[in-house]
Amino acid sequence: MAMDEKIEPIYDEVVRHNPGEVEFHQAVREVLESLGPVLSKHPEFAERKIIERICEPERQIIFRVPWHDDRGEVQINRGFRVEFNSALGPYKGGLRFHPSVYLGTVKFLGFEQVFKNGLTGMPIGGGKGGADFDPKGRSTNEVMRFCQSFMTELYRHLGEYTDVPAGDTGVGAREIGYLFGQYKRITNRYESGVLTGKGVDWGGALVRTEATGYGTVFFAEEMLRARGDSMDGKSVVVSGSGNVALYAIEQVHQLGGRVIACSDSNGAIHDPQGIDIELLREIKEIERGRVSDYAQRRAGARFRERTVDPNSIWELPCDVALPCATQNEVTGRDAKSLIHGGCQVVAEGANMPTTPEGIRAFLDAGIAFGPGKAANAGGVATSALEMQQNASRDRWTFAYTEERLRGIMRDIHARCETAADEYGSPGNYVVGANVAGFLRVANAMVALGLV
């Protein structure tokens, strides 16, 4: 999409000022391309330089994380927390542990989080963090020592009213446990609301584990409903096999669809009968194994190695695609394969999994495309519900919390539709999500003055 001529120089300055951070540039570009009509209606945003301010994180923290591995050798990683925007509430967003993490990753994720959190309608600002630590092949003790060292620096920046991390790739309930334990020890406070994604026995909320995957499917269901259709009987392809993918698969099956494929960094499995979610969960969550193990234990399922065929998963004919693995996993070519295979609806469970060329191809083909900011917002929204329960020392049932999540996803869908209509791009969820998220944050920033 072409960028408004008043906004183009702002984008150029972001690129100049943040050299080499290509994912951050991409995330900024996608939002800024949607904002032309907003500036025309709201001159106050230009006067107050809201777009320029929203692109500059409020605070960026980079720190050394030293730890001992099991052989007694010293290891050193780099930790990050980018506190992007607190106009709507404390900084909120996950931590990612992956060897590829650098400042540009954390800034792209933090930038996305600002708008996503705005779109949820809840009182949460945006932030993100992580480290270039590779948990793969590390023992539980090594993971614990790493988490303790990471928190020994990070704790001073956190607080239930200040900054509230959660999980992301490589950070699940186990890591949140070690991080919370160290925070509690250092501060001598049982401050439940300082982290979300906690275990349900010690301050966690029911449905938080399932929320991102379930929410993505609820969002896809809303998009289908807007077209007079439903998930029932649909053939679905899900990429990834982490927390988001697992619970997306589970929810598709609950709504009567059938997931025929999923993947990990080694390759993809195709199971035409439909993925056996119990078996997959056992392999992934209990054994911490690979999807190739699934293909070995399930009759009729086939595994295709990534080295042989990097993106074979998107070549399978399907009605609905849910990219739930990682950024830029769906290229323009993959999008064309999906369209060719009959795909009608795409909902992003991961953050920015579709490249700009992919998004363009989907929109040009009239596919219902739900961007991550909207489609995967159920995770962070349920984190906000966890904070609410922590603040009131209350505990809600699974059924009640799931109903709240369903309502939140319905509202997000409606906000995207309304904003897309009002700002001249009916049916375009990318514009809808960017504009609705931006408006909420921008209005708060105007109200709070030049801070």
**Which residues are identified as catalytic?**
128
126 part of the interface to ligand GLU, by CB under 6 A: no
- Binding ligand GLU by CB under 6 A: which of 93, 129, 203, 215? 93
CB 161 within 8 A of CB 124: no
CB of 196 to ligand GLU, least distance (A): 5
Residue with nearest beta carbon to ligand GLU: 94
In the bound state with ligand GLU, the residue whose beta carbon lies nearer, of 59 and 302, is 59
Cβ-based burial of 74 (10 A; exposed 0-12, middle 13-18, buried ≥19)? exposed
In the bound state with ligand GLU, the residue whose beta carbon lies nearer, of 118 and 379, is 379
CB 22 within 8 A of CB 104: yes
Angle between helices 22-32 and 103-120 (to 10 degrees): 30
Between CA 156 and CA 254 the distance in angstroms is 43
36 part of the interface to ligand GLU, by CB under 6 A: no
CB of 293 to ligand GLU, least distance (A): 26
CB of 208 to ligand GLU, least distance (A): 8
Sheet architecture: strand order including 302-305: 302-305, 267-270, 258-264, 235-239, 320-323, 345-347, 368-370
- Binding ligand GLU by CB under 6 A: which of 86, 120, 383, 401? 383
Going residue by residue from 39 to 68, which x/- string records binding to ligand GLU, judged by CB under 6 A?
A: ------------------------------
107 part of the interface to ligand GLU, by CB under 6 A: no
Query: Of 130-138, 176-184, 318-326, 377-385, which part binds ligand GLU (CB under 6 A)?
Result: 377-385
Q: Label residue 3 left, alpha or beta by phi (over 0 means left) and psi (-120 to 50 means alpha).
A: beta
User: What amino acid occupies position 9?
Assistant: P
94 part of the interface to ligand GLU, by CB under 6 A: yes
Between CA 20 and CA 129 the distance in angstroms is 18
CB of 386 to ligand GLU, least distance (A): 8
The single residue listed with the structure tokens 């107050």 is 48
Q: Of the candidates 32, 409, 82, which has an alpha carbon nearest to the alpha carbon of residue 213?
A: 409
Cα angle value 374/396/201 (rounded, 5°):
100
379 part of the interface to ligand GLU, by CB under 6 A: yes
> How many Cβ atoms from other residues are within 10 Å of residue 388's Cβ?
16
CB of 251 to ligand GLU, least distance (A): 17
**What residues contact 201, with CB distance under 8 A and at least 6 apart?**
none
Pairing of strands 163-167, 126-131: unpaired
- Binding ligand GLU by CB under 6 A: which of 262, 380, 431, 441? 380
Query: Of 42-50, 90-98, 155-163, 289-297, which part binds ligand GLU (CB under 6 A)?
Result: 90-98
CB 126 within 8 A of CB 156: no
Q: Which of residues 180-239 bind ligand GLU (CB under 6 A)?
A: 196
CB of 19 to ligand GLU, least distance (A): 25
In the bound state with ligand GLU, the residue whose beta carbon lies nearer, of 343 and 374, is 374
In the bound state with ligand GLU, the residue whose beta carbon lies nearer, of 235 and 390, is 390
Binding stretches for ligand GLU (CB under 6 A): 92-94, 166, 168, 196, 351, 379-380, 383
